Amino acid sequence: VLKMAGMSNAMATLTCFLIGIVQVLSVFANSMLVDRWGRRPLAIIGTMCVMLGLSFMACGFGMGGSEDQSHVAIWCGGLAVLGMCIFRVGFSFSLSPLPYIMTAELFPQEVRAVGVAISHMVNWATNALVCQTFPMLDEAMTRSMAANEAHAIIFAVYLGFTFIALAFVIVYLPETRGVRLEDVKA
């Protein structure tokens, strides 16, 4: 994303390093707040941050990105990079660590080990699917349209899926903070 937004290799590497530090701090913040605020609110806040980041990336690339070096293109590239940063922080704060906390809490004792194993397998398979399909989609779409348009469409589709995830969290995810494992109703 950083290079697609027009960053040099050196600047993209430095930015990745800084984002990595912020991600570690975000996970640490999650560990400090998860029992105080609750899992459900953190999941909702984090998913909304991920959606905001994806919106910025879709808009940044959709409005011009880095195809030319005009001031508009630089600002649009900056918006896409800001979106990526918001996405990474929001994800690291909530959707990255919460599944590992909550899956053990949501399954009844009789099926907990199998349920957690299947949940984590699906989580990692989905992560692999997204990581593998992004470059393939990007390559296929840039054959028939401008690269920035392709990037914007891909991030807009991811935004749509994240909206579905937010609706699922709001409707179905129970709060498990302060609830005994035996009393959790998933």
Distance CA 120, CA 126 (A): 10
pLDDT of residue 65: 45
> Tokens 């302060």 appear where?
178
3-class SS shares of the chain: helix, strand, coil, % to 5: 80, 0, 20
Query: What pTM was computed for the model?
Result: 0.83
Distant-in-sequence, close-in-space partners of 44: CB < 8 Å, separation ≥ 6? 166, 169, 170
pLDDT tens, N- to C-terminus, the chain (186 residues): 777 777 778 888 888 888 889 888 888 888 888 888 888 999 999 999 999 999 999 998 888 744 455 655 667 878 888 998 899 999 988 888 888 888 888 888 889 899 999 999 999 999 999 999 999 999 999 999 988 899 999 999 999 999 999 999 999 988 877 777 677 665
Residue 177 CB-half CA count within 13 A: 14
Instruction: Name the nearest CA neighbour of 19 among 90, 99, 96, 97.
Output: 90
DSSP state of 109: G
Cβ(43)–Cβ(94) under 8 Å?
A: yes
DSSP state of 183: G
Cβ(1)–Cβ(80) under 8 Å?
A: yes
